[in-house]
Structure 1
């Protein structure tokens, strides 16, 4: 199972206490564009914005962001935020805090368009993770010593069965969830912490 929140950004979640969206084949096809994924992630992470502001942040034209925002709106992933607009200014916000989907189901879907769409989405998620990590490595010297000491970049190799691999991922997701609402947003010295999880088999030879 993959959860993409703002982050994008996969981790498991039962979806019972948060505004999570279960992605179906139709939504997946609408989401299968790199800019749409970036737009959705940005709205989830930084809150409502106009097409122009999103274009400035992402280095895209307002025409492109406006078009893809409308496509996301048709898929039910973003919506108007009219209370924020002034005059003809149109603001957009994400409808959900994150998305949940079972990537294995889409990889074996009978529709080749769906199989292609999940490939686009997963590769964009992987690209985003790499970009976020590289950004941290390039800016970590600007952070206080306490944050530099608290960061982590590790990898592990463990021999498992498919069932145990799923169990491992579920337990790691549960650990992350246990910290989700511990620190209030206005806590001095706090920051949003990104945790990426990738679990996959490797060839024995």
Structure 2
């Protein structure tokens, strides 16, 4: 995939991928990206981990440039962390890298990302009745099957990403009434047919 123009999106390379491809590190990064700055203790409680484990993995994420200190939030010795980038891109060539540890890290990353997306949807399905009626009328879980060439598939992916980017540019201010963060998942992959 091509790296988006947004400098807030980081393109994963072999080194950074190895630093991120761990289930807890990916959960920590997502928690900071979508929930805002937090301490290791707060993240430990949220994720059901020990603060020692979250502290260790936050330091590893920092060493690879994914998270940084948020000193404006801390008081005294309290250390707050924040995500450095709003998003990540993944280069498919990592799946065919000559180094087997890179290929393994790529597999871990993709499987963890897929699991996280499934968890996002499951959480919504379990909690949707707690949301206002307006949000219960506008969610989507659709599936379709098309017959495409690889070039057409790439064109469709690019067009879908352009639509999402267009809405990113139109995002309302944080204090806009009724505005919420929404999660958008797109999946396009070939399937075997009989």
Bin for the TM-score computed over the shorter chain: over 0.9
* Residue of structure 1 aligned with 2:161, choices 173, 197, 205: 173
Instruction: Report which structure shows greater RCO (CA 8 Å, sep ≥6).
Output: 1
- Work out the CA distance in 1 between the residues paired with 2:167 and 2:126: 26
- Work out the CA distance in 1 between the residues paired with 2:32 and 2:8: 14
Q: Which runs of 5+ in 2 are unaligned?
A: none
Query: Residue in 1 aligned with 2:43?
Result: 54
Query: Residue in 2 aligned with 1:82?
Result: 71
Superposed counterparts of 1:126-137, under 5 Å: 126-137=114-125
4+ residue runs over 6 A deviation: none
Give the SS at the match of 1:83: coil
Superposed counterparts of 1:58-137, under 5 Å: 58-102=47-91, 104-137=92-125
- 8 Å Cα contact 1:23-1:101 kept in structure 2: yes
- Work out the CA distance in 1 between the residues paired with 2:28 and 2:71: 18
Q: TM-score scaled to structure 2, two decimals? A: 0.95
Q: Which runs of 5+ in 1 are unaligned?
A: 2-11
- Work out the CA distance in 1 between the residues paired with 2:35 and 2:169: 18
- 8 Å Cα contact 1:18-1:97 kept in structure 2: no
- Work out the CA distance in 2 between the residues paired with 1:148 and 1:85: 37
Query: Residue in 2 aligned with 1:9?
Result: none
Q: TM-score scaled to structure 1, two decimals? A: 0.90
Figure out how many residues of one structure are paired with residues of the other and give that number.
193
The reply to whether residue 157 of structure 1 matches residue 170 of structure 2 is: no
